[in-house]
C-alpha cells in the first residue's frame, strides 16, 4: 500500500497524492452516509448495505480527485436520489468542512501507524522487534547446547594460538653473483648515510604553512645525499615546476550547466496567509460593531509581532482609502525603529496586506454586490469563508481548483458557478 503521508521540508506531515485520494474517498462516504440517514431517512440496514456497495463503487470508478466532481450525478443515481440539484447543493455546502476535519484525523492516524518510518529514514521492521525484545535478549542466560544424548554440551573455549615469529630470511650473496662487487663497494656508504631528502627547487626556504612537521631524526636541508645515476624522467619536471604547483590555488571545477538549469530558486514564503489576514479583519470588524475596546486590546496584546504589524498596515491602508496621504517609507521606518521589526520584512508584509485586501474585497463584491453573481446572505457567507480556507491551503493549485468546484456546487445557477470559478482561478494565479 502506498504511503498516505509524507514529511514536508518544514517538518510537518502532509498528505501524498494517494493520501488526498483516500481523503476524498473517506469524505464522500461519510457525507453519503449522513445524507442517507438525515435527508433520505433510510433504515440502518439499508444504510449499511448501501455504504458497503458504494465503497466498492468508489474504489473501482473514482481514480482521480476530479472524478469526485464529475461523477456526482452518478453518486446521486447510485443512492436513488432523483433531485440532483438538492444533492449537489448538499455536497457543496458540507464537503469542504468535512474534508478539513477528516484530513486532520487521517494525518493523525497515519502518524500513529507509520510516523516512525517517516521521522527516521533508517527505519526498518526489525527496529520494532529490537525495541520489543531487545531487553529480553540482553538479560537472557547463556545458551546451553544439548547433545543428541540429552546432556548439556560444554562450550569449547577457543585456545589462543601462540604467535610465532617468522624466520628471518637471509639473502644469500653467492660469490659468483655480479652484485657482490657492488654490495661490497656501496654497503658501508648506504647504511651510514642520512635519509634521502628530495628538493623540488633550488631555494632552501619553506613557509610554515607549506611544511609538514619534520620527524625528530630529520636532517638539515643542506645535508642532502645525491645519487648521480638516479634520475627518473619525472624528476626534471618536478625540479622545474614543483614550487609553482605547491603555491598555486586549489583547482575549482566549474558547475555543470545542466545542474544550473535544473536548480530552482524557492519562491518567497508569505509572512502571513490569506486566511490569517481575513481572520484579522473579521475580529476587527467584530470588536468595532460591538464597540468593545477592552476586548480589542486583549486580542491585540496576544497577537504575534507579524500580525500586529499587519493590523498597523491595514489601518494605514484604510486611512489612505479615506483620502489621507500616507508616506509608506517613513511609516515603515518609524514602525521598525519602535518595534525592532525587520524593515525589509515590513515592506514585504505591506505588499501582502495590500494584495489580500484587494482579493478579499473582490470576493465580497462578487458574492454580495455584483448583480450577476450576488447570492443569498447565508450562501454568500458560507462560500466566502470556505473559499478563503481553500485558497490559503498548502495543496497544489489543481487540488484547490477541484475543491473550489465542489464548493460552488451549492449554487444552482450553472452560469454563476462558471463566473465565480474563473474568478477564483485568477486569484490563484495572483497569490501563488
Task: Tell me the per-residue pLDDT of 368-407, one tens digit each, with 9 for 90 and over.
Answer: 999 999 999 999 999 999 999 999 887 888 889 999 999 9
Q: What is the pLDDT along the chain (432 residues), one digit of tens a residue?
A: 678 888 877 677 888 888 889 999 999 999 999 999 999 999 999 999 999 999 999 999 888 888 888 889 999 999 999 999 999 999 999 999 999 899 999 999 988 887 555 555 555 556 556 666 667 666 777 665 555 555 555 555 555 555 555 555 544 545 545 555 555 666 565 555 555 554 444 444 433 344 333 344 343 333 333 333 434 444 444 444 455 445 444 434 334 333 233 333 233 578 999 999 999 999 999 999 999 999 999 999 999 999 999 999 999 999 999 999 999 999 999 999 999 999 999 999 999 999 999 999 999 999 999 999 999 999 999 999 999 999 988 788 888 999 999 999 999 999 999 999 999 999 998 887
pLDDT of residue 238: 43
| Maximum Cα interatomic distance, the chain, rounded to a whole number of Å | 121
Q: Are 310 and 354 in contact (CB under 8 A)?
A: no
Helix (H) or strand (E) run with residue 153 in it: strand 152-153
Comparing C-alpha atoms, which of 1, 2, 5 is closest to residue 119? 5
- CA torsion 207→210→214→219, rounded to 10°? -60
- Which residues lie closer than 8 Å to 312 by C-beta, 6 or more apart? 335
Helix (H) or strand (E) run with residue 102 in it: helix 84-119
pLDDT of residue 185: 61
Distance CA 47, CA 53 (A): 10
Distance CA 10, CA 85 (A): 42
pLDDT of residue 155: 53
Comparing C-alpha atoms, which of 114, 77, 103 is closest to residue 2? 114
Alpha-carbon distance values, 375 to 87, 96, 113 (Å)? 19, 19, 44
- Which residues lie closer than 8 Å to 258 by C-beta, 6 or more apart? none
pTM score, whole prediction: 0.60
Distance CA 183, CA 177 (A): 11
Paired strand residues for 7: 13
Radius of gyration of the chain (CA): 40
Q: Are 427 and 391 in contact (CB under 8 A)?
A: yes
**How many Cα atoms occupy the beta-carbon half-sphere of 205 within 13 Å?**
1
pLDDT of residue 12: 78
**Residue 382 grid cell:** 458560507
Q: Which DSSP state fits 150?
A: S
Q: Taking each helix axis as running N to C, give the angle between helix 377-391 and helix 84-119, from 0 to 180 degrees, rounded to the nearest 10.
A: 30
Q: Which DSSP state fits 228?
A: T
Distance CA 36, CA 31 (A): 9
DSSP 307-330: HHHHHHHHHHHHHHHTT----HHH
Amino acid at each position: 500500500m502506498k504511503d498516505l503521508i509524507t514529511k514536508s521540508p518544514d517538518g510537518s506531515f502532509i498528505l501524498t497524492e494517494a493520501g488526498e485520494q483516500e481523503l476524498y474517498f473517506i469524505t464522500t462516504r461519510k457525507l453519503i452516509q449522513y445524507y442517507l440517514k438525515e435527508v433520505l431517512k433510510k433504515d440502518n440496514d439499508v444504510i449499511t448495505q448501501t455504504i458497503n456497495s458504494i465503497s466498492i463503487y468508489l474504489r473501482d470508478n473514482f481514480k482521480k480527485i476530479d472524478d469526485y466532481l464529475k461523477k456526482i450525478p452518478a453518486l446521486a443515481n447510485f443512492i436513488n436520489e432523483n433531485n440532483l440539484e438538492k444533492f449537489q447543493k448538499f455536497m457543496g455546502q458540507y464537503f469542504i468542512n468535512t474534508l478539513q476535519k477528516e484530513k486532520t484525523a487521517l494525518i493523525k492516524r497515519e502518524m500513529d501507524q507509520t510516523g516512525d518510518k517517516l521521522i527516521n529514514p533508517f527505519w526498518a521492521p526489525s527496529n520494532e522487534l529490537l525495541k520489543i525484545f531487545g531487553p529480553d535478549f540482553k538479560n537472557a542466560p547463556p545458551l546451553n547446547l544439548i547433545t543428541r544424548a540429552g546432556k548439556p554440551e560444554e562450550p569449547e573455549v577457543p585456545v589462543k594460538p601462540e604467535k610465532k615469529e617468522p624466520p628471518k630470511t637471509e639473502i644469500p650473496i653467492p660469490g659468483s653473483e655480479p652484485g657482490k662487487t657492488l654490495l661490497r663497494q656501496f654497503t658501508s656508504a648506504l647504511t651510514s648515510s642520512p635519509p634521502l631528502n628530495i628538493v623540488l627547487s633550488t631555494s632552501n626556504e619553506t613557509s610554515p604553512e607549506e611544511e609538514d612537521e619534520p620527524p625528530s631524526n630529520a636532517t638539515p636541508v643542506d645535508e642532502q645525499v645525491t645519487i648521480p645515476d638516479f634520475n627518473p624522467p619525472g624528476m626534471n619536471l618536478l625540479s622545474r615546476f614543483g614550487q609553482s604547483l605547491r603555491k598555486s590555488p586549489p583547482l575549482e571545477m566549474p558547475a555543470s550547466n545542466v545542474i544550473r538549469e535544473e536548480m530552482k530558486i524557492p519562491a518567497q514564503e508569505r509572512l502571513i496567509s490569506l486566511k490569517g489576514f481575513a481572520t484579522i479583519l473579521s475580529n476587527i470588524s467584530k470588536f468595532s460593531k460591538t464597540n468593545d475596546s477592552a476586548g480589542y486590546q486583549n486580542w491585540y496584546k496576544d497577537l504575534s509581532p507579524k500580525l500586529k504589524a499587519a493590523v498597523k498596515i491595514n489601518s494605514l491602508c484604510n486611512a489612505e482609502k479615506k483620502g489621507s496621504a500616507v508616506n509608506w517609507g517613513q511609516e515603515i521606518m518609524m514602525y521598525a525603529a519602535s518595534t525592532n521589526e525587520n524593515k525589509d520584512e515590513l515592506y514585504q508584509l505591506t505588499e501582502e496586506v495590500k494584495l489580500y485586501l484587494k482579493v478579499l474585497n473582490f470576493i465580497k463584491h462578487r458574492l454580495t454586490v455584483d448583480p450577476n453573481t450576488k447570492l443569498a446572505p447565508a450562501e454568500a457567507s458560507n462560500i466566502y469563508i470556505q473559499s478563503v480556507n481553500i485558497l490559503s491551503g498548502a495543496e497544489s493549485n489543481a487540488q484547490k481548483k477541484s475543491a473550489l468546484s465542489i464548493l460552488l456546487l451549492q449554487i444552482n445557477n450553472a452560469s454563476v458557478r462558471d463566473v465565480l470559478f474563473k474568478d477564483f482561478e485568477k486569484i490563484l494565479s495572483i497569490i501563488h
